[in-house]
């Protein structure tokens, strides 16, 4: 079964990327010879990203880990995800070679959907028109998706998260921004003051500013649980390694070594030090109440 293929970095799998997947599914329906013919959409992405290979040390954080990018692409409508290893050798391929060897021979593309600014191959010389002539299959180019009058892009998502504007980030992504990572052993101080926490070692590169956040966590079994989290250095207890500490409401299970996906819903306040442990506990109670209220409102 020859698939409709869509290509991109897909960092974040935001509204613009979802439009590509929707257009690919629609093209598959139109190319079907019979109404019940199975349709398949394949998303092609790259790891490392072309920027990581061609501009090492660029300092631009990825919105998602590779595993989360693949998972979200599948959730958004891709039947299969091909992760193409990006190398300097591949960067040197002509557009014709990339089209022939990867899209034509390897994937057998029945149709192709790309974004409005899509370019590929050596010196970014390839475009949608080259694919049409080279492969002889329908190639559709999707225009930019606008939000508040501006194109949705991975760059806008990064700026929103780094500025702590989680509402805008969620609108651009069509879901809350997530921080993922394993739960590791901490100093267990939270349990002694009545607020046990899951200490997450972030694998996600893109983090919002330090502070206290209303969150929802996706537990290993898929259950969604609300909570309040501190992202940063915990200044009350002195300097230390940055971490994400998540207190889950009404939860008393063991999450050590388990992967946790933490949806960052809203920023409640900045991170700050407190003069006494009692003052900290009072503030945590207030933060938990505020987080519950924000989560209910959403």
Query: Quick one: pLDDT at residue 258?
Result: 86
Query: Quick one: pLDDT at residue 195?
Result: 85
| Residue 150 known to be catalytic | no
pLDDT tens track for 81-93: 999 999 999 999 9
- Cβ–Cβ under 8 Å, residues 97 and 59: no
Domains and CATH numbers, the chain: 4-151 (3.40.50.620), 177-297 (2.40.30.30)
Distance in angstroms between the alpha carbons of the first and the last residue of the chain: 42
Q: CA 46 from chain center: how many Å? A: 14
Cα–Cα distance measured from residue 295 to residue 1, given in angstroms and rounded to the nearest whole number: 44
Query: Quick one: pLDDT at residue 191?
Result: 61
Query: Quick one: pLDDT at residue 168?
Result: 98
Mean pLDDT by 10 residues, the chain (298 residues): 94 98 96 78 96 91 97 97 97 97 97 96 96 97 98 98 97 98 77 80 95 96 94 58 84 88 96 88 94 90
Around Cβ 66, how many Cβ atoms within 10 Å? Answer: 16
Catalytic pick among 140, 178, 233, 245: 245
């Amino acid at each position: 079964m020859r698939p409709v293929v869509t290509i991109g970095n897909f960092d974040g799998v935001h509204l613009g990327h979802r439009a590509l997947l929707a257009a690919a599914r629609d093209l598959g329906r139109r190319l079907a010879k019979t109404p019940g013919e199975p349709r398949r959409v394949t998303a092609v992405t790259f790891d490392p990203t072309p920027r990581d290979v061609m501009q090492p040390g660029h300092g631009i954080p990825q919105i998602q880990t590779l595993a989360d990018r693949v998972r979200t692409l599948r959730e958004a409508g891709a039947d299969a995800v091909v992760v193409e290893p990006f190398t300097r050798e591949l960067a040197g391929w002509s557009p014709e070679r990339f089209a022939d060897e990867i899209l034509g021979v390897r994937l057998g593309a029945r149709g192709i959907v790309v974004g409005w600014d899509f370019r590929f191959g050596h010196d970014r010389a390839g475009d949608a028109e080259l694919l049409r002539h080279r492969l002889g299959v329908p190639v559709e180019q999707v225009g930019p998706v606008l939000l508040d009058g501006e194109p949705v892009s991975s760059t806008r998502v990064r700026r929103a998260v780094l500025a702590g504007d989680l509402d805008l980030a969620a609108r651009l992504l069509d879901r809350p921004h997530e921080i993922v990572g394993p739960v590791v052993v901490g100093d267990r101080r939270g349990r002694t003051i009545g607020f046990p926490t899951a200490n997450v070692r972030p694998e996600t590169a893109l983090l919002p500013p330090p502070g206290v956040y209303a969150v929802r966590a996706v537990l290993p079994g898929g259950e969604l649980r609300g909570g309040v989290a501190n992202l940063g250095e915990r200044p009350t207890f002195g300097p230390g390694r940055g971490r994400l500490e998540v207190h889950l409401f009404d939860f008393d299970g063991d999450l050590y070594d388990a992967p946790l996906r933490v949806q960052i819903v809203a920023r409640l306040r900045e991170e700050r030090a407190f003069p006494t442990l009692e003052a900290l506990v009072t503030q945590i109670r207030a933060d938990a109440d505020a987080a519950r209220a924000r989560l209910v409102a959403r």
